[in-house]
Amino acid sequence: MMIDRFQYSPWDFWAKADATAQAQQIATQRALTAERPGVTFGGECFVSDLASVDNDELALGDRSYIAAGAYLTGSLSTGRDCSINAYTVLRGDVRIGDAVRIGAHTSILGFNHTMSDPGIEMFRQPLTTEGIRIGNDVWIGSHVVILDGVTVGDQSVLAAGAVVTKDVPAGAIVGGNPAKLIRWRVPQADHPLAPSDQSLARADQPHAPGDVVVTSNNDLAARVAAFAETARAQAVALLDRSFSEETGLFVDRPGNSPTVRAQCDAIEIADLLLDTAPPQLPADQQLERLRGWQDAATGAVASLGAGSMQLASAGFDDPDAAYHVLCVGYALQLLGTGFAHPITLVTAASATDIAVAMNELPWTTNAWGAGHQVDAYGTALHLSRLRGDEVPTGTTEALFGWLLTHADPTTGMWGSPNREDGLLQLVNGFYRASRGTFAQFGLPVPYPERVIDTVLQHARDERFFSAGRQNACNVLDIAHPLWLTAGSGYRSEEITALASRLLNAALDHWSDGEGFGFRAPAPHLAGLDETTPGLQGTEMWLAIIWYLSDLAGVSDALGYRPRGIHRPEPAPH
C-alpha cells in the first residue's frame, strides 16, 4: 500500500489534499488536544499519523507542521509557519519563533543527563534542563544537533551537520562540529556583536544582538560619563516638555492626560539629574498636592480622571492605587516628608489576612501581578514604620514568612514559567516582590544562586532581550535581581558581561531633549506610544543604567545614585 505523500511532505496539504484527508487531519488534532490538555494547534497545522507526539505541552502556531518519523517529548512551542520535517527529534524545553524550518534527522535536545556521581549509573542520575530558544526566520539544515542551553538568534542559518553547543548570534551562518561562524547572512554591520575570532558567543554569556561592543572598562566608563553629562544638561528641557502650564501638572509625554505617576516620575528624574525638586513648580506646592490626594479613610491615592480631577477611591484592589503606595510614598520622601494618613492596606490587616491574601494572589498565571501586590504590602509596612503607625502583631512576619516558605528552591522565585512567555512572569514577579520586601528591608533572599541561574537563563530569551524588543520593565526586572544577589560572587563574570551589553544598548536609547521611551526604539516601531520618550521611560531607564553600570563596575562615572523608589540601599526604618 502506498503511503500518503503528505505524511512526509505536508507543506501543501491544505492546498492539495482532498476533503476526506483534511477532515481526518482535523480529527487527529482534536484527538490529541482531548487526550492532552496542554496541546494546542493554530490554523492549518498538520500532524503526521506516523509521528510520535508525546509532549506534556505543545503549542503549534498557524501553518506549522510535524512530518512522519518526528519524535517529540517535553514542552515545545512554535510560532507561525514552522516545519518539523521527517525524523526530527525535539525533546525537553524548546521554544521556537516564527518561520523556522527544521531539516530532516535534526535533533534539538532541551535537557541533559548529569554525571556528577560516578558511583551511580548515568541513566539513573537526574536530568537537568536549561531549555533551548530559537528566534524568528531561522533555517536549520538536516542532521543538525542543538544541545541544551543554546539560544539561536533571529535570521541565522545552521548548516547541515552542525553541532551547536554555544549561542548563535542573530544573522550568523554557522557550521561544523563544534559549530563556528562561517559568514553573516545579515551584514555584519547590522550585528556589531560579531566575534572577531570567528568563534561563537559562549552559551553561558547572554547577549542581545545589535548591542554595541565596548573594548574596555575605561571606554564604558567614558561612555557612561558622557551620557550622564548630556542627561543632566537636558533635564530641565525634558521636564518642560511634559509639564502642562494649563493644569500645573506633569503628563507622561505631550498629548497625554496628567496622572499621579507622572508627578512622581518628574520628582524622581529631577532628584537624580538636578538634585532638587522639578523647577516647574515650587516644591511645597508639589508636596502638598501629593499629600492632599491621599484618602484619609483608607490611605489610598486614587487615579486622576477627566479634567485632572481625582476619582473616587477604589481602595487598594485598584492596581494604580497599589502602585501609588510606592511612587507617591517615595516622591514624598524625596521632597522631605511622607504620607499624611495611615495606610490601611497593612495597618488594618491581621497576620491571617496577609496569609490568605498571599495564597490568593495569581502566582501561577500572573506572577508579575502577584509581585505588584506584594511590593505594595512591603512598601506600606516600611512607610507605616516611618510614620510610627501601629501594625497588627504578626502582619510583617506573615508576609516574610509566606515568601520564605513558598520560594521554589529550583528557581529561587515564586510562581512558575508558562508556555506563552517562558520565564518572563516568574522573573518580573520576583523583582517586584523582592524589591518591596527583602531589598527594601535589607534582608537576604532565600536562594540567591538559583535566582541568578533563573535570571541568566531568562536573559537569553530573544523575544524580550534582542535589539528592538527590550523594554524598561523587562530589563529592570533582571538588572535589580542580579544586583541584589551579586554579593554571592556566583557567575559574576557572566553577570558583568550581560550588564555591559545591556548597558551599551540602553545608552543608545536616549533621545535628545526628550529622554527615554518605555521600549527600545527601532525603525519599524517608530511612532508607537511605547517607544515615544516620556517621564515613565526616562525614570525607569535612568535607574536601570545605574544598576547595569554598578554591575559592570562603572557606576561612579554616572555621578548619580537612585534615592527614591529604585534606591539600591535598604530603606531607612
Q: Where are the domains of the chain?
A: 5-190, 204-234+447-573, 242-341
Q: Residue 253 pLDDT more than 80?
A: yes
* Residue-level pLDDT at 2: 46
Select from 477, 369, 458 the least CA-distant residue to 417: 458
The number of C-alpha atoms within 13 Å of 572 and in the hemisphere containing its C-beta is 9
Give the span between the Cα atoms of 163 and 534, in whole angstroms: 45
- Per-residue pLDDT, 549: 97
Q: What is the pLDDT of residues 181-220, one digit of tens each?
A: 988 888 654 443 333 333 343 333 333 333 334 445 778 9
Q: What is the DSSP letter of 322?
A: H
pTM of the model as a whole: 0.68
Superfamily in which the 5-190 domain is placed by CATH = Hexapeptide repeat proteins (2.160.10.10)
- Which DSSP category does 446 fall into? S
Write out the E strands in 232-337.
243-244, 249-250
Whether the per-residue pLDDT at 281 is higher than 60: the answer is yes
- Please tell me the chain's helix, strand, coil percentages from 3-state DSSP, rounded to the nearest 5: 45, 15, 45
Per-residue pLDDT at 285: 95
pLDDT-derived band at 469, boundaries 50, 70, 90: confident
Of residues 364, 452, 350, 454, the one with CA closest to residue 406: 364
At 118, which amino acid appears?
P
**How far apart, in whole angstroms, are the C-alpha atoms of residue 283 and residue 139?**
58
User: If you average pLDDT over every residue of the chain, what do you get?
Assistant: 90
Strand partners, 151: 133
Query: Which residues have CB under 8 Å from 274's CB, separation 6+?
Result: 232, 235, 236
In sequence order, which ranges of 143-184 are alpha helices (DSSP H)? none
Cell numbers given for 52: 510520535
pLDDT at residue 216, as a whole number: 58
- On whether the CB atoms of residues 412 and 444 are closer than 8 A, the answer is no
Q: In which region does residue 256 sit, left (phi positive, over 0), alpha (psi from -120 to 50) or beta (all else)?
A: beta
Strand runs labelled E in 447-546: none
CA 294 to chain centre: 32
Higher pLDDT: 302 or 205? It is 302
Is the separation of the CB atoms in 250 and 262 below 8 Å? Answer: yes
Say if CB 229 and CB 524 are below 8 A apart.
no
Q: For residue 89, which phi and psi values (nearest 5 degrees)? A: -115, 125
Asked if residue 161 has pLDDT above 90, the reply is yes
Angle between helix axes 448-458 and 424-434 (nearest 10 degrees) is 140
Mapping DSSP to helix (H, G, I), strand (E, B) and coil, where does residue 415 land? coil
458 is catalytic: no
C-alpha cell belonging to residue 479: 538588572
Distance CA 226, CA 216 (A): 16
Q: Is 193 helix (H, G, I), strand (E, B) or coil?
A: coil
The three-class DSSP label of residue 216 is coil
Burial of 7 (0-12, 13-18, 19+ CB in 10 A): middle
Say if residues 74 and 108 touch (Cβ distance below 8 Å).
no
- Least Cα distance to 382 among 368, 395, 367, 401 occurs for 395
- Spatial CA neighbour of 129 closest among 146, 148, 150: 148
Closest CA to 144 of 130, 165, 157, 158: 158
Average pLDDT over residues 467-473: 88
The Cα–Cα gap between 535 and 263 comes to 9
- Sequence-distant (6+) residues with CB within 8 A of 324 are 260, 261, 300, 301, 302, 303
Alpha-carbon Rg for the chain, nearest whole angstrom, is 26
Q: Residue-wise over 288-319: b if at least 16 C-beta within 10 A, else e?
A: eebbebbbeebbbbbbbeeeeeeeebeebebe
Q: Is the pLDDT of residue 498 over 90?
A: yes
Average pLDDT over residues 446-463: 92
Per-residue pLDDT band at 523 (split at 50, 70, 90): confident
> CA 221, CA 465: separation in Å to the nearest integer?
23
- Over the stretch 373-403, which tens digit does the pLDDT of each residue have? 999 999 999 999 999 999 999 999 999 999 9
User: What one-character-per-residue DSSP string does 458-481 give?
Assistant: HTT-HHHHSTTT-BHHHHHHHHHH
Residue 3 pLDDT class (50, 70, 90 cuts):
low
Q: Which of 105, 113, 406, 480 is an active site residue?
A: 113
Cβ distance 551 to 486 under 8 Å?
yes
For 107-128, how does the pLDDT look when each residue is reduced to its tens digit (9 = 90+)?
999 988 777 777 788 777 777 8
CA distances (Å), origin 66, targets 52, 152, 193, 221 = 9, 21, 34, 50
pLDDT of 573 reads 66
DSSP one-letter code for 349: -
CB within 8 Å of 455: residues ≥ 6 apart: 427, 478, 481, 482
